[in-house]
Structure 1
Amino acid sequence: MAEQHTPRSLIVSLYGAYGRTSDGSPMPVAALVRLLAVLGVDAPSVRSSVSRLKRRGLLLPRRTAGGAAGYALSEDARRLLDDGDRRIYARSEPKLSEGWVLAVFSVPEAERHKRHLLRSRLARLGFGTAAPGVWIAPARLYEETRNTLERLDLSPYVDLFRGDHLGYAATAEAAARWWDLPAIAALHEEFLTAHEPVLRAWRERPGDPGDAYRDYLLALDSWRRLPYADPVLPAELLPGDWPGRRSAEVFAALHELLRDRGAEFVRPFLAEHGE
């Protein structure tokens, strides 16, 4: 299946990679339009996607130092991107001895819309389903889970526990029930199919900064969903041919090769429209 890069997702990836300034200065609209055009996104799609992000409270309309129209990240957006960095760029693998975090929830029928929100958010955090109303994830996700539930006002419906799996099934067998491992493996294989050849090409014949920007943004936009779909389980719970480690290595290598080179391409766009 071919990868799908939506305009809204590409905008978020662009801000995550190159749009976070220490002073909170906005990215000019004209720069956004031109930088997204490199990725095949037309101006009307950029503007409609920016409007949706603005309605969600993630982008704030601001003027640049030179008076041009632009959009800055809101505090919520900055926190979301910072939380995302801890997942997207994580290199350490969890140990089984670190244990698990359990989320046990009960939502009144009158507020069933919050039940749906809770389930979808736990799934996006990487939780698997241990039993109805009981969700499980590696213990290292506790802090992010707690912060997310509090931010969405869902904490009154949830109790969080930390502990070990004591049986009766072997933990690897249980994990294969808690998560859809074949579906997660397919996501890693899809990433590898799209981006491993890109890494090989860069190692054989490096491109220019514009190529680096394009290839890095597309890789980042694909990769940043994976650390949420995949909870990154301890190696002993995964099949021997698990592709997750290889896809993480490919993304890390692309990040090392391309991120700063791509910044050389982005910088003149921001300076041209922002001063």
Structure 2
Amino acid sequence: MNTRSLIFTIYGDYIRHYGNQIWIGSLIRLLKEFGHNAQATRAAISRMSKQGWIQSKKKGNKSYYSLTDRGVKRIEEAAKRIYKIKPEKWDGKWRILIYTIPEEKRNLRDELRKELIWSGFGTISNSCWLSPNPLEKQVYDLIDKYDIQPYVDFFISEYNGPHTSAQLVEKCWNIEEINKKYEEFISIYSQKYIIDKHKVQKGEISDAECFVERTQLVHEYRKFLFIDPGLPEDLLPKEWMGNHAASLFSDYYKILAKPANRFFEEVFKDGNELSDKTDTYDVYDHPFIIQ
């Protein structure tokens, strides 16, 4: 796993729920479990800081790092999608964003595309993006963030044919390919779940191993945020594997949660303040979406 991406996973799944701050020494120790050395960890932290995802603070001779407001916001946005067990109902409306960003602002256009894909928009034609989800706030936030008011138009509308809404979905997203990715996830992790569940129940797996397995599980599952638009139930095929994958992820995560948290806390408390009010064993709403 990429060091930078792994750090984001650990921030989302653990650190944010322990005060959103960690001593660099503890972070280096955690990443050692995945084969990442101190030099790689420090280099990744430096890049993330320059990109505005994390911020540093000195306490004596120790350096501590926490997510910035930007990082926290992105994690909260992802939480609404990644931990849904079932899709939501559709209001029958389509959100349509059209832009004409000039060629000299190509980099800006590329960044906007990445953000729209992450949010779950699909393209029906060049520079015309659609979503059936209520993403008004995300759209206006993007318009303000990139200062693109002169170049965009945003509509909320109904689709009146001549095709069906299901056919419209097929034009914008490769649902069959997404379903295959879910099938692959289920094929791999259903077997691992059975094995690790047995090991946890028999006490045959260490807390450190549970920490690694849970982090890897989250790391893999969160990748669906970049390919699955999170369509409402009304627009999904009958044989939709996303629901099965979500249930499997939930069950597997819960099996590993307590021992994984014990290991994290043991490492975290060396150089960090562990709040008595933190009830992490029941925490189950953390997203991790930066690649």
Taking the TM superposition and a 5 Å limit, the aligned residue runs for 1:201-216 are: 201-206=195-200, 207-216=205-214
Structure-2-length-normalised TM-score: 0.83
1:188 aligned residue (182, 188, 204): 182
The answer to whether the aligner puts 1:68 opposite 2:62 as a matched pair is yes
CA distance in 2, matches of 1:177, 1:146: 25
The two structures, once aligned, show a CA RMSD in angstroms of 2.2
For the residue of structure 1 that corresponds to 2:52, the secondary structure is coil
Question: What's the CA shift string for 1:135-160, capped at 9, x where partnerless?
Answer: 01122333233324433434543222
Q: Does 1:18 align with 2:14?
A: yes
- In structure 2, the CA distance between the partners of 1:155 and 1:220, relative to structure 1 (3 Å rule), is farther
User: 1:191 Cα deviation (Å)?
Assistant: 2.5
CA contact (8 A) 1:138 1:231 kept: no
The alpha-carbon deviation at position 28 of structure 1 amounts to 1.1
Task: Give the letter for the 1:12 counterpart.
Answer: F
Query: Which residue matches 2:245?
Result: 247
Question: What CA deviation, in whole Å up to 9, does each residue of 1:178-200 have, x standing for no partner?
Answer: 11223322332332233222222
Q: In 2 relative to 1, CA 41–186 (structure 1 residues): closer, same or farther, beyond 3 Å?
A: farther
Unaligned ranges ≥5, structure 1? none
CA shift at 1:35, angstroms?
0.7
Q: Which has the higher contact order (CA 8 A, sep 6+)?
A: 2
Alpha-carbon distance between aligned partners in 2 of 1:150 and 1:209, rounded to the nearest angstrom: 45
For residue 102 of structure 1, report the CA deviation from its aligned partner. Answer: 1.2
1:68 touches 1:274 (CA, 8 Å); kept in 2? no
Quote the residue 1:125 is aligned against. Answer: 119
In the alignment, does 2:235 pair up with 1:237?
yes
Alignment partners' CA distance in 2, 1:22 and 1:161: 41
CA distance in structure 2 between the partners assigned to 1:155 and 1:194 by the alignment: 45
1:258 aligned to which of 252, 256, 270: 256
Partner of 1:115: 109
Q: Is the deviation greater in 263-272 or in 15-24?
A: 15-24
Residue 161 of structure 2 corresponds to: 167
Q: Aligned-pair distance for 1:247?
A: 1.2
Amino acid at match of 1:153: D
Uncovered stretches (5+) of structure 2, i.e. residues with no partner: 274-291
Range that drifts further, 204-213 or 114-123: 204-213
% identical aligned pairs: 25
CA distance in 2, matches of 1:89, 1:152: 28
